[in-house]
Amino acid sequence: EKGLRYPNSEKPKPNAAEIGGDDVLPGTYKIVFTFNKEKDSSYITIKPDPRKQDNTAILASQKVLTTRLKTAAAKLTEGMDQLADATDIVKKYDVTLKDIETPIADSIRKQSKKITEQIKQLREFVNGKKVERQGYGQLPEETVMTSYGEAMSNLTDKNTVPSNQEELLVKKAEDKITQAIKKINTFFDNKWKAYQMLIENNKVNLFKEFKQL
């Protein structure tokens, strides 16, 4: 299947190879090949491994819930990508205003610092806080991604039809993701718009007076 980028992954570079996904379930699939303006297609049948007990029904029932999780995660990935883009914009303005000493430039720098901190907090809500001291990594805390990982592993690590427990874990992860997306949307609708208006309404003059030699 088509691969899934997780919300805590970096944005791929342009023209990067697509990541691989899960194995498809047994069944008949249509494969379409394209090259420039040419197109052709064929069918392929995927069969269960004859050396093992056929667990297609179990995998199909698991797929219903994993698809729900992946759909929610894909939307959150979009939100995290937007935060990455916003961070790049802030950095560009920081570089541009580095040597400009005016009240407007100083005001923008202060707001840039606040925006950067708010983006950091949103990322920590999704991924958790990191300890910078040597020998420490991720703090043990429940985050959006730990809830997602718990739900996904409980689904895929068992060769059984999902129970009510797995359904509840998926629902919990979906709720966490929804909460994160709401926070991201609120940030862009309020804090980011105000930051954007501050910059757009206060053109910073990058020129200075040069004396004739």
Percentage of residues in the chain with pLDDT exceeding 70?
A: 93
pLDDT tens digits for range 94-103: 998 888 888 8
pLDDT tens digits for range 78-134: 999 999 999 999 999 899 888 888 888 899 999 999 999 999 999 999 999 876 666
**CB neighbour list of residue 48: distance below 8 Å, 6 or more residues apart:** 26, 54, 55, 56
Given this model, what pLDDT does residue 169 score? 96
Pair of tokens at residue 140: 């043990």
pLDDT tens digits for range 8-66: 888 888 888 888 888 899 999 999 999 999 999 999 999 998 998 899 999 999 999 99
pTM of the model: 0.84
Give yes or no for a contact between 90 and 196, defined as CB atoms under 8 angstroms apart. no
Strands (E) across the chain are located at: 27-35, 38-46
Rg (CA), the chain: 24
Sign of CA dihedral 90, 95, 101, 102: negative
Distance, in Å, from the CA atom of 127 to the CA atom of 176, rounded to the nearest integer, reads 12
139: number of Cβ within 10 Å: 11
pLDDT at residue 187 above 90?
yes
Given this model, what pLDDT does residue 88 score? 93
